[in-house]
Chain A
Amino acid sequence: MPVGFIFMRWDEKAGNEILAKYPEDLDVSNRTLMQVFHTHEYTGEPGMISLMVGTTNIASYYTGLESNYCILVVLGLGEDPDEYEGSLADVAQILLQNIEGNKFLKLSPTVYQHIRDYPFFNSEQQLIYLYQNEIKRGIITRLRDEGIVSKSELITWLKQTYPDGFGDIDLTLFEFVQKDFIQMLSVKDERSVILFLINDPLMFRIPPFKILKNPFGKGLPKNFEATYINSCDLFFQSYNPSEEDNVKVINILNEPQTYELINLLRDRVISKENFEKLKKSGIKDIEDIISALLETKLIISFQDMGGIEYYALLTDFFIENFIPEYILNNLNSYLENRTKSNHVLSKYLNLLEEAYIDSLITEKK
């Protein structure tokens, strides 16, 4: 578990300036901080470095020469710094967006919690986390429409579309590139780097198959079985996947404790009494979580004659990466109308072909 983090800025005259620390008594010597900055300065590039200074295990993310900020995380001795890379780029982005009026100061506990939890996210949670960010959703939506966009064009568009929320483009794109959603490449005769959509996160609700196969066996009293199955059927008769609904679900599942509960409910029906036990085992705000899940129609509740309440999944959620096959329509029209260069089209076709073959070969390995 990380010991804590320091958010700091390098100033040519004043040296390193600590802007926030969590916990506040976290002790890292000035010499170590200097060493971290100098290591970043050596590359000059935004990104993460890891280093051991004496017995201090450090992962540090640098925002680049232009802004000169750094998030330094002190890790436990045996921890692998690479596991923190994805979260640090995001945390840096959040802190930078809250520089004005020192708003970032209030965020320290949440930031620490996120840094701590992120390495334990499974692939589904990582996708959920990525997609809950409005600006990142905007980028994906734009790429779904076009497949290809130049980095300079994207920056201009983001500044216009999200005047208050958009920060550093490299930090914003970091996880997309890491997780193979987007490839960013220089292409012959193009002035700006080109972004290509390689994977598209598809998502929608699905019936809770495991529970539906045998609700009684999964803990639902026999007398509620028919109503439960009917309720699920009824929901899916009128359900149409939509971005609005996906965002609602994503925002709820993005909370680690809520996700943990949904994972439990994927396997069994849980009574109120069992929820109380979960409270004792560390899941807080259980009432709030339940009411949010009921409101979003992710769960349904039943009350028996004795007043015992049971909670079962009404809908489950599916989120996966897919090769955007539909984008070939765009490529065909770019080709017909000559709106993109042949170098760009050729590069994109090669990337899609490689990704498609990889996805088939690695599937079910």
Chain B
Amino acid sequence: MTARLQRALGGVTRVRGVRGALIVAREDGLVVADALMEDIRGNAVAALAASLTRRIGEAARASGVGTPQFLHLEATGGALLAAAAGDEMLVVAVTEVGVNVGLVRLEMFRAAEAVQ
């Protein structure tokens, strides 16, 4: 299981500009698997991504657009991306500025398929 998840994350982290990727339990923000650069705190990323996804998910559902499948928080120095992996998990990535988001997104959804 762990090796399979690590392989799935490998596809994400191989994209240039990705600083790290994780598989996170959606409900409590716990790290299931990770592939991170040294300067990234996995637990913090997981907790923040799960919390933000939950909060935004409530607003999205209230607005009638249904359940979030992909979230992209763009910041001046990078981005946080999260893709739904079934109902229970998230694939999360932290990137640098100017990364090919389309490619990262694709790899994240591939990883999400591997998780389910």
The answer on A and B forming one complex is no
Residue numbers of B with Cβ under 8 A of A are none
